[in-house]
Structure 1
Amino acid sequence: MIVVYDAHCLLCSGSIQFLLRHDRQGMLRFASMQGETGRRLLAQAGVNPDDVDTVLFVRDGQAWRESAAVLRILHVLGWPWRLAWIGWLIPARLRDAVYRRIARNRYRWFGRSDTCILPPPGTAQRFLD
């Protein structure tokens, strides 16, 4: 299971740190959309790697974007994060509209970094490039 994220986005980097803390079984791996693996996965999912405002979650060859990706990622974490599954009751059109608004404004609201986060000790093997 791979999470493709924007390594320059501080919200995204904080989210990856959250996932590292709460993925107790170490099932998630991470690829920045600026790296070779992330760009390849985005292209395979039909997403232009040069114009990305989404997180991508890849599991067993299937890919999800936007709010569906977030809900599936949280489900992997187990209890209590699995409760986010209730989010599926909200129509995808509404969930994704909220997601896109946050994604479009992520640098302005949360900040941008010119450098990628350094993986915490003991987690470097979970980052693909």
Structure 2
Amino acid sequence: MVTDREKLQDKSIVFYDGSCGFCQVSVQLVLKYNKHQDLYFSSLQSGVLEQIVPLNQVPDPLPDAVLFYEHGKLYAASDAALQIARHLNFPLSILSYFRFIPVSFRDKVYSFVAKHRYKIAGRQDSCILPAPEQRARFIG
């Protein structure tokens, strides 16, 4: 018998800040350009992350913007963004090649954007409602 946890562990999941307008716009972009429609989404506030990732691997406190879970591994910061980019249509998939830039530099740029994301797109009290065919890709 397969448990809900096991079902979730087999999925590639983007964890995002549900109260961040910039993050919600980013999720909409990923939904639109996810070439195989194989990414799932869950807000960091949902508790789903803690269900599938061992507690000693969950960042404390939770990060400012995005985490990505795939094949039993949790990616954070620029590594998460670049792993997500691998799943996008061309030309956005080219962003994944930025992984060759030193992680210290990538994470500084990522941290700058994450720190200022509320100034960029504001705070959201409600989520953008996905299209009916996309709703099944949201967890929690």
Q: Give the TM-score normalised by structure 2.
A: 0.82
Q: Does 1:18 align with 2:29?
A: yes
8 Å contact from structure 1 (residues 71, 85) kept in 2: yes
Pick aligned residue for 1:32 from 39, 43, 50: 43
Where does residue 47 of structure 1 map in the other structure?
Answer: 59
> Structure 1 unaligned runs (5+)?
none
State the secondary structure of the residue aligned to 1:29. strand
Aligned to 1:65: 76
State TM-score, norm by structure 1: 0.88
> Is the contact between residue 50 and residue 58 of structure 2 (CA under 8 Å) also seen in structure 1?
no
Equivalenced residue count is 128
Amino acid at match of 1:46: V
2:58 partner amino acid: G
Among all aligned residue pairs of Structure 1 and Structure 2, give the percentage whose two residues are the same amino acid. 34
Note the 1:100-115 alignment, pairs <5 A.
100-115=111-126
**Counterpart of 1:19 in 2: which secondary structure?**
helix
1:44: Cα distance to partner? 5.5
Q: Deviations over 1:47-80 (max 9, x none)?
A: 12x5431311100110111111111101112432
Alpha-carbon distance in 2 for matches of 1:13, 1:41: 22
